[in-house]
Chain A
């Protein structure tokens, strides 16, 4: 016969497990301090010190460098922009006909994201290039993206216009080419070009103001 207490024990075990995992996660996610104790503190000696060798056993994942990557799919059909900040990733892929907003993580040189329209993006970072695969709306594309500086990058506008929810996104490539789409209450269509100086675009007679989602500057991440 089950003791009356054992369900409480189950709940408490679950709570403890959750708290331990949360603490581990918070510890790994916290900004890493500079390496403690420079080597100059230790007496230079040729005999090995008997203290345990701190092998690179640190399993704490390392967040990718803050940056914004911009590029095109290999077939040139769509543009991709990925903004990375403290391990958090926001991306947008847009062909002018289909689009997906994605969110995810960027650790240990790997980007993993999921998003709207069954979007999935995986990529690896090598130097200033991110290469990978993005799937959305039934299509699968390989892409390559390079670190970009403003005015190229990713722009997003989200607002209520005449009781309609209007969300627009633009990818501005390094050569100035851009592609964007606007979604009004769930209906998507190609968007007119955005003026990167004023960050505005006129859509259906309304002027939308966009925020750059910039990994280095950190804009656009809060309240995404």
Chain B
């Protein structure tokens, strides 16, 4: 007869999601590094160039990520205001942020690849892989019950931090170099 403590139960339940997340991160990194960058530029109408399109998509993702953070704080009672719809807001802002992030990632990985020629691109490449891995963990963890209370805030916090880090190592530089332009 075994009695599982809460922590071993959480650890056991986390193993599969973390493993899958790690595989996602690894796959993105390996593919980015090993395949020949195509340089393909799929432009989105209305933007001056593909870099601008990506920059604004990334900024949109970051914006919705901030909504994520605020709605999460609200759901956990940290803002002193917890409307009934904050869960819905949190889920939908998360889906939109993710939807914006995916095309940016596809272009980055396929056209530019995992780059190491500069600290900024190295950090960006690493964060990019880790972000999608951690986001996968966050989604998978949500399907489980009985996890310790710290799991969602920690994983959610990591996802948020990585996305902002990604924005800082790309979109911010674009805006600094080209001004706030489309």
Within 8 A of A (CB), among B39-91: 39-43, 49-51, 87, 91
Q: What is the minimal beta-carbon distance from B79 to any residue of chain A, in angstroms?
A: 20
Is B142 in the interface zone, CB < 8 Å from A?
Answer: yes
Is B160 in the interface zone, CB < 8 Å from A?
Answer: no
B139 A89 Cβ-Cβ under 8 A? no
Q: Chain A's interface: helix, strand, loop or mixed, by majority?
A: mixed
Q: What is the minimal beta-carbon distance from B54 to any residue of chain A, in angstroms?
A: 11
Q: Specify which of A8, A18, A25, A115 is in contact with B143 (CB 8 Å cutoff).
A: A8
Count how many chain B residues have C-beta atoms less than 8 Å from C-beta atoms of the other chain: 38
* Contacts across chains A and B counted by CB atoms under 8 Å: 106
Q: Please name the residue on chain A nearest to B111 by beta carbon.
A: A105
Q: What is the minimal beta-carbon distance from A23 to any residue of chain B, in angstroms?
A: 10
B42 A24 Cβ-Cβ under 8 A? yes
Digit string of A8-45 for contact with B (CB within 8 Å is 1, else 0)? 10110110011001101110110000000000000000
- Given A103-B117, A110-B49, decide whether A21 and B37 contact each other with a Cβ distance below 8 A: no
Cα–Cα distance between A215 and B78 once the two chains are bound (Å): 57
Cα–Cα distance between A217 and B87 once the two chains are bound (Å): 57
Measuring CB to CB, which residues of chain B are less than 8 angstroms from any residue of chain A? 36-43, 49-51, 87, 91, 94-95, 98-99, 102-103, 105-107, 110-112, 115, 117-118, 136, 138-140, 142-143, 173, 176-178
**28 A-B pairs (CB sep. < 8 Å):** A2-B87, A2-B91, A4-B142, A4-B143, A7-B138, A7-B139, A7-B140, A11-B140, A18-B102, A18-B106, A21-B42, A21-B103, A21-B107, A26-B40, A29-B40, A61-B41, A61-B42, A88-B39, A103-B112, A103-B115, A105-B39, A105-B111, A107-B40, A110-B49, A112-B50, A114-B173, A118-B176, A135-B177
